[in-house]
Amino acid sequence: MSLTLLEAAKLAPDMGTATIIEEYAATSDILQAIPFRNIEGSGEHYNREDTLPGIGFRGINEGFDASTGILNPQSEALKTAGGDLDVDRAIVDQKGDQERSSQELMKVKALSLAWTRNFIKGDSRANPRAFDGLQMRVGGTQLLDNAMAGGPLSLLQLDAAIDQVDMPSALIMNKGMRRLITAAARNPYVSGHINYELNQFGQKVMYYQGLPILIADYDNTGADIMPFTEASGDGSSTLCTSIYVVSFGDQMVSGIQGKIKGNFGISVRDLGELETKPAYRTRVEWDVAITVKHGRSVSRLRGITNAPVIV
């Protein structure tokens, strides 16, 4: 059974670990939404469903034509994300343990933002220590071009990208794209079904066609994750961004996590004061990756420029 990080925090062995897990989720819309499954070993082998078997009708004394579906074998290796945080002993002596906790939460925020970038832009060819993100995984009929490649978002094409995903859960985009959709909802000639709800942290979440809009904002270096710097499908523009439609679930898009020190999930360990310098060290580690188990669990609409939305 898979759990989101917020659900997993309720089962954490101690309050400190629960706080760290909740902070991971609080910093990233995507980490709040994606479920994670516990797996034994160093990774997971699975079959991705691409084509269903055929069916038909038969007459009396006739047989059915044999048919099988197409399952493409996939392998996903766990990747270790994390880092060490050192806080000078003098700072703790002067300001108390709460200063150490504050520094730890800042580290966790940075790790969460780095993970979110990798979820979208990760490329194991460029960095073998990381897992592939959605941009590397989406192709074929799941990669759609905007109505005008290198033009304003077409709501018709966005609806087509949504229809290309079975049981869609959410849309993923940058803040600029969300602003353009908000503006379109105020335009009676464009419109679009928009509403708002509050999430677990009391944050207002925008919904389009009943799907929450998750924001891939900035990473741990402060750089935008999905800026308007992508190339359009025909190469006519390099001032574009994308929108992803994702179905989260065990058999769709989900995270996987392994064991560290005998426990699944995010590991938070106090290593105490170092011998080499007067500092306290906390180590945060997470053996993690993502799986895309269904061929229609994610789509990408590319070639969208920073311009008013059209129908």
Nearest Cα neighbor of 267 from 246, 286, 280 is 286
Which pLDDT belongs to residue 51? Answer: 52
Which pLDDT belongs to residue 68? Answer: 38
pLDDT tens column, 145-195: 999 889 999 999 999 999 999 999 999 999 999 999 999 988 887 877 888
3-state secondary structure of 124: coil
Q: Higher model confidence: residue 62 or residue 83? A: 83
Domain boundaries, the chain: 5-50+70-131+262-289, 141-250+295-305
Burial class (CB in 10 A: 0-12, 13-18, 19+), 205: middle
CATH of 5-50+70-131+262-289, one of 3.30.2400, 3.40.390, 3.30.70, 1.10.10: 3.30.2400
**CA-to-CA dists, residue 140 to 90, 143, 160, angstroms:** 57, 6, 15
Nearest Cα neighbor of 303 from 235, 215, 251 is 235
Work out whether strand 194-198 and strand 204-208 pair parallel, antiparallel, or are unpaired: antiparallel
Which pLDDT belongs to residue 58? Answer: 63
3-state secondary structure of 151: strand
Sign of CA dihedral 288, 111, 219, 194: positive
pLDDT tens column, 7-27: 988 888 788 788 888 888 889
Percent of the chain with pLDDT over 70: 92
DSSP labels for 33-83? H--EEE-SSSEEEEEEEEEPPP-----TT--PPP---EEEEEEEE-EEEEE
Note the pTM of the prediction, 2 decimals: 0.88
Which pLDDT belongs to residue 73? Answer: 56
Is the pLDDT score of 37 beyond 50?
yes
Nearest Cα neighbor of 161 from 148, 147, 150, 175 is 147
Is the pLDDT score of 80 beyond 60?
yes
